[in-house]
Amino acid sequence: MQKGQQTRAAILEAALGLASQMGLEGLSIGALAEVTQMSKSGVFAHFGSREELQIAVIREYHTRFEEEVFFPAVREDRGLPRLRALFDRWVRRVSVELDSGCIYISGAVEFDDRPGPVRDALASMVRAWQSALDRAIRLSVEEGQLRPDTDALQMLFEIHGLILALHHDARFLRLPGAIDRARTGFDRIVQHYLASPGAVEAPARPSAARTRAPAR
């Protein structure tokens, strides 16, 4: 990257760290200048306003979320293996963020009643992720793994609720076992919607990491 791009990337990295700890509202040109040891005018040259900075952070967070959660999961087989991979990687991401915070969740609290470009950008990214989950649920129905009458939006609502509960209990209340409870909840949701009552979900296709021979 050119020097200007490198500087912008470094500022954005620092901004992500601040937003994770303090929320999007905690971001300011001044605070970022202090963290990066740059002048305010230097930071301002890359992000012309606080609002532009917040939107850039949201987009960068979404890009990283896709790289860690979405893209690896969609390499799994269509249907339930893919849906489970999406959820498992989402849970893994939340577990890593327990000491920092999820910008999707904290941002929703900050901007739920504040219309404007920042809220629009955040809502757009969240809807894109929910659309991916909705698609995975509908593919599971098409594959005959979930009941034909499955309400995809209802199932999505229940799965999303598990993540919100996980974030609350693990991050706010610091309750042990929250991750296991979230996974148990997912299993129960899937079992409820399975095409054959009492059927057992087929295991996901083993990933390369699982099938690699152990080191000797």
- pLDDT tens profile 83-113: 999 999 999 999 988 877 789 999 999 999 9
- Residue ranges of the chain with per-residue pLDDT less than 50: 200, 204-216
pLDDT value at residue 21: 85
Tell me if the domain spanning 55-199 has CATH number 1.10.357.10.
Answer: yes
Q: What is the pLDDT of residue 44?
A: 85
Q: Helix 50-65 crosses helix 3-22 at what angle (to 10 degrees)?
A: 90
pLDDT the model gives residue 197 = 58
pLDDT at 178: 96
Query: Cα dihedral sign for 166, 171, 174, 176?
Result: positive
The region, left, alpha or beta by phi > 0 then psi within -120 to 50, assigned to residue 212 is beta
Q: Determine the pLDDT at residue 74.
A: 96
User: How high is the pLDDT of residue 22?
Assistant: 86
Give the pLDDT score at 201: 54
State what percent of residues in the chain have pLDDT above 70.
Answer: 90
Enumerate the H helices of 47-116 as residue ranges.
50-65, 71-73, 80-96, 103-111
139-154 per-position pLDDT tens digit: 999 999 999 999 999 9
